[in-house]
Chains A and B, each alone.
Chain A
Amino acid sequence: MLKFLSPNIGKVSFLIAILAWLALLFVDITRIFGMMNQIESGVVPEVSYILQVVFFIMVYIFYNYSITKNEKNEFLNLIWRGASTGLLALGISLLIRGFYGILGDSRLALDPLLRNFFYHINFAMTSLFLISCTLLWKRLILYQKTKKVVQQWQAFEILLLISMFFVFFNQNTLDYSFLFGLVFLNIFSISLAINLKWIPYLTFKEKWKSILFFSIILISSSYLFFQVLSYSDADQIPVNLTDNLLLIGLFAFVFIYSLFSFLVTLFNLPTSSVFEQKLVEAINFQRLSQSIKPGENENQVLDILIDSSMSASYADGGWLETSNKEGKLTLIQERFIDKKNLGQVKELIADSKALQHNNTYRKEEESKVFQVKINHNLYKSALVAPLLVNQELIGRLVLVKEVKDGFNKEMLNIISTFVGQACISVENYRLLNDAIKNERYKEELKIAQRVQESLLPDKLHHDESFEISAFSAAADEVGGDYYETKQLDDHTFVLIIGDVSGKGTSAAFNMSQMKGVFHSLVQTHSNPKDFMILANNALSECLEKNHFITTAYYLINTDSKKITYSRAGHCPTLYYNHRKQETYYLSIDGMGLGILRNKLYEKYVHEKTFQFGSGDVLVLITDGIVEAKDGNGVEFGYERLKTVVDENKNLNSKEIQDTIIQEVYKFIGKNRIADDDYSLMVVKFK
């Protein structure tokens, strides 16, 4: 319902206002006809008063609506609206006066009907001007809303409303009650007129314009006021509409506020540049803090920095240097200063700095903005501001002036604030970039992790004569441990465990190479010694020169119950011999793959064969297990592992494996992070 009505408020109120005005005119014309024809028309003045009140209220509603609707209300626009309405009212009034001047003493000039018509036009224009100005001033007064000002304004509006109806008591005659009301309204107007907080926001040019507009308003309102005064003595007017308390009160209010604004704006002119400067600084500050977005260059912020600093300090020239990793400064921005002068000033600053350092040099002074006197033929003072990010010098801003001691304390302050903000922006930018980069690395590591997990076998080959279980944990996202099984025929199985030198991603890559080598060789050269020699050949070609791989390789024949094995630099395998009731490490010489990358390697590869029996246990490990350290840096070690296996040899393979892992974790302590990869493969013969 409301929604339906609201767009029409402007039109409806405007229409009613026109109708009320026409009615006023009609009522008066009726009266004049009555007077002329000596007939009592019987229309009491109250009818006119009521129509007048309706007219005022409708005009008020119309302007209130149209000013609020117009969102783009800048101060200057508002004042111009007031001034233009004033000009219009003034122009029409002057036209009417000119018209009567032309008519001279003709009959038409004395015609009461015409005179009354023009009176009504003047009345309407004056009312429009005053009410529109009042509502415009309302916007200005309430620009910075506080509770107090809002309440004051509401009280003023109520007063105006009361004064509108005052006409019913005094019939628009000048008496004491009228004067009392007027004085009261005037005092209120003055107290409201001190709300001029919008003026400083005008620029210098806008201030000049507003002074012009205010003078127009002052002239129009004065002229219209005197015109109204002249009407109160005129006798052709049957009902005086203009000696209304509201109109006179509004005259006072509009005039007082315009006068105050005019004077204050005038006196604000000389200092307006300071306020403008502060506003520019605030905007620059905001630009500095928002300037860098990801993907953009940090030079952009430095660009804004030097421009803002130059304008804040009225510097005659300046430049900006950034330092690279070695601390060498390179010039990236220069303003209004040529290369030759720049070099000279640079040396002078360096000299004066050296002098300072000799006297009282303190580290913290290095990070402050400071001013130096320089003895240059053009520039007399310089300001040096170091740019620090994380206490690290990233650059230097230098501003120069042609006068001595050209930089005051405020300038030093504002420039250090600018520099601080710029540095924070640069730092944020760098952090953000790092975060994005890290995020990408994490993603890639996740992929590597998935790939590597797929490299470890999901199935361990075995037959009914032995059971097998395996475990692997990586210290980083990806590890360098490797184990695998392979069934060559019904009774032949191969077990391999390996450890790639180094950790992390590079180790994981080498591990995948090892897997490839294993699968290509094991088909044709399953014999441990042959396998090692060929694997060494292959890996020598593809491993980096400081990388190597250690492996232990077991060929198990479940038919002949024989194990043939070879060790390439890998940590020894633990064996429990059930028949002998003995636990020991299988000892055999061997050299890591990739250590010796030529024919000589063959000399260092060995192979052994032994018979296994029921109940025997084979524990293949990587060095992470024996090198696991507790809080005091003591290693888990071979002996401790041997004891654990010895005590649990009768369990099945999975249970033995779990016990070892538990013992290792218990040993290193709960809260410590594993710093190496652990892998383990346990075989139990039935």
Chain B
Amino acid sequence: MLKIENIDQTDHMVLQLSGEIDASNSVDLDAAIQDMISRGAKKILVDGSQLEYISSAGLGVFMSYLEEFHEKDIQIVIYGLLEKVHQVFVILGLDKLITIKNNQQDALEAML
């Protein structure tokens, strides 16, 4: 079960993820990110505080956009991850490529 919510703020967009991301619903995450890019997002804040699990397919979605983010100069920051979910990012080495912060405050500051 994955719930994706999209909140547009004045200068950035927030993607709220809750539940579990696996192979079956990773396409929904992909569609949500694709949608934000097409709407011209420059700063994307991913709220992962409700995210309980992410599978390799879910990580693959974030990974697949890294190059495009870089080219289009889009900033992405993930925050509020549970420790075990955070560990998954760390083990894979994705934390080196995507900024991961503890809370929203830190995340917003990291964007500036």
B108 on interface, CB distance cutoff 8 Å: no
Given contacts A550-B92, A569-B91, A592-B93, contact A502 B64 (CB under 8 A): no
Report how far A546 CA is from B66 CA in the complex, Å: 10
Chain B residues with CB under 8 A of A545: 64
B-contact bits for A488-516, CB 8 A (1 contact / 0 none): 00000000000101111000000000000
Closest to B27 in A: A546
Chain B residues with CB under 8 A of A572: 91
Contact call A595/B93, Cβ cutoff below 8 A: yes
B97 on interface, CB distance cutoff 8 Å: yes
Contact call B61/A546, Cβ cutoff below 8 A: yes
Report how far A501 CA is from B94 CA in the complex, Å: 14
Report how far A597 CA is from B92 CA in the complex, Å: 15
Contact call B60/A547, Cβ cutoff below 8 A: yes
Contact call B96/A591, Cβ cutoff below 8 A: yes
Contact call A546/B91, Cβ cutoff below 8 A: no
Report how far A592 CA is from B64 CA in the complex, Å: 13
Contact call B64/A546, Cβ cutoff below 8 A: yes
- Cβ-neighbour of A569 out of B23, B30, B57, B93 (below 8 A): B93
- Cβ-neighbour of A592 out of B30, B57, B61, B92 (below 8 A): B92
Given contacts A545-B64, A546-B63, A596-B97, contact A502 B57 (CB under 8 A): yes
User: Size range of the interface on A?
Assistant: 20 to 34
Contact call B92/A591, Cβ cutoff below 8 A: yes
- Interface size of B by CB at 8 A reads 19
A-contact bits for B1-35, CB 8 A (1 contact / 0 none): 00000000000000000000001001000100000
A589 on interface, CB distance cutoff 8 Å: yes
In chain B, positions 83-106 with a C-beta closer than 8 Å to chain A are: 84, 91-94, 96-97
B36 on interface, CB distance cutoff 8 Å: no
Report how far A569 CA is from B63 CA in the complex, Å: 13
Contact call A502/B60, Cβ cutoff below 8 A: yes
> How far is the CB of B63 from the nearest CB of chain A, in Å?
5
Closest to A637 in B: B84
Contact call B93/A604, Cβ cutoff below 8 A: yes
Report how far A570 CA is from B91 CA in the complex, Å: 7
Majority SS of interface residues in chain B?
helix
B-contact bits for A559-575, CB 8 A (1 contact / 0 none): 00000000011111000
Chain A residues with CB under 8 A of B63: 546, 548, 594-595
Contact call B59/A501, Cβ cutoff below 8 A: yes
- Cβ-neighbour of A501 out of B57, B67, B96, B97 (below 8 A): B57
Closest to A501 in B: B56
In chain A, positions 439-461 with a C-beta closer than 8 Å to chain B are: none
> How far is the CB of A599 from the nearest CB of chain B, in Å?
14
Contact call B92/A595, Cβ cutoff below 8 A: yes
Chain A residues with CB under 8 A of B84: 635
> How far is the CB of A594 from the nearest CB of chain B, in Å?
8
> How far is the CB of A508 from the nearest CB of chain B, in Å?
14
Contact call A595/B57, Cβ cutoff below 8 A: no
Closest to B93 in A: A591
Contact call A546/B97, Cβ cutoff below 8 A: no
Chain B residues with CB under 8 A of A596: 66, 97
Contact call A548/B91, Cβ cutoff below 8 A: no
Chain A residues with CB under 8 A of B96: 591, 604
Chain A residues with CB under 8 A of B64: 545-546
- Cβ-neighbour of A590 out of B56, B57, B93 (below 8 A): B93
Given contacts A545-B64, A546-B61, A546-B64, contact A502 B56 (CB under 8 A): yes
> How far is the CB of B95 from the nearest CB of chain A, in Å?
10
Chain A residues with CB under 8 A of B61: 546
In chain A, positions 572-617 with a C-beta closer than 8 Å to chain B are: 572, 589-592, 594-597, 604
> How far is the CB of A607 from the nearest CB of chain B, in Å?
15
Report how far A596 CA is from B93 CA in the complex, Å: 10
> How far is the CB of A663 from the nearest CB of chain B, in Å?
20
Report how far A568 CA is from B91 CA in the complex, Å: 9
Contact call B60/A548, Cβ cutoff below 8 A: yes
User: Which of A568, A572, A589, A592 has the most chain B CB atoms closer than 10 A to its own CB?
Assistant: A592
Chain B residues with CB under 8 A of A595: 63, 66, 92-94, 97
> How far is the CB of A22 from the nearest CB of chain B, in Å?
96
Chain B residues with CB under 8 A of A570: 91
Closest to B92 in A: A569
Contact call A499/B93, Cβ cutoff below 8 A: no
> How far is the CB of A488 from the nearest CB of chain B, in Å?
27
Report how far A41 CA is from B59 CA in the complex, Å: 125
Closest to B60 in A: A546
User: Which of B30, B91, B96 has the most chain A CB atoms closer than 10 A to its own CB?
Assistant: B91
Contact call A503/B93, Cβ cutoff below 8 A: no
Chain A residues with CB under 8 A of B66: 595-596
Report how far A594 CA is from B94 CA in the complex, Å: 11
Report how far A499 CA is from B96 CA in the complex, Å: 20
Report how far A504 CA is from B55 CA in the complex, Å: 14
> How far is the CB of B76 from the nearest CB of chain A, in Å?
15
Report how far A507 CA is from B96 CA in the complex, Å: 25
- Cβ-neighbour of A502 out of B23, B67, B93 (below 8 A): B23
Contact call B56/A548, Cβ cutoff below 8 A: yes
In chain B, positions 36-81 with a C-beta closer than 8 Å to chain A are: 56-57, 59-61, 63-64, 66-67
Chain A residues with CB under 8 A of B94: 591-592, 595
Contact call B60/A501, Cβ cutoff below 8 A: yes
Report how far A333 CA is from B59 CA in the complex, Å: 50
> How far is the CB of A195 from the nearest CB of chain B, in Å?
69
Report how far A31 CA is from B84 CA in the complex, Å: 127
> How far is the CB of A571 from the nearest CB of chain B, in Å?
6
> How far is the CB of A515 from the nearest CB of chain B, in Å?
18
Report how far A623 CA is from B22 CA in the complex, Å: 14
Chain A residues with CB under 8 A of B91: 550, 569-572
Report how far A541 CA is from B66 CA in the complex, Å: 16
- Cβ-neighbour of B23 out of A503, A591, A592, A594 (below 8 A): A503
Chain B residues engaging chain A, CB cutoff 8 angstroms:
23, 26, 30, 56-57, 59-61, 63-64, 66-67, 84, 91-94, 96-97
- The 6 nearest A-B residue pairs measured at CB: A591-B93, A501-B56, A546-B64, A546-B60, A569-B92, A545-B64
10 inter-chain pairs at a CB distance below 8 angstroms, sorted by A residue, are A499-B56, A501-B57, A546-B26, A546-B63, A548-B56, A569-B91, A592-B93, A592-B94, A595-B92, A604-B93
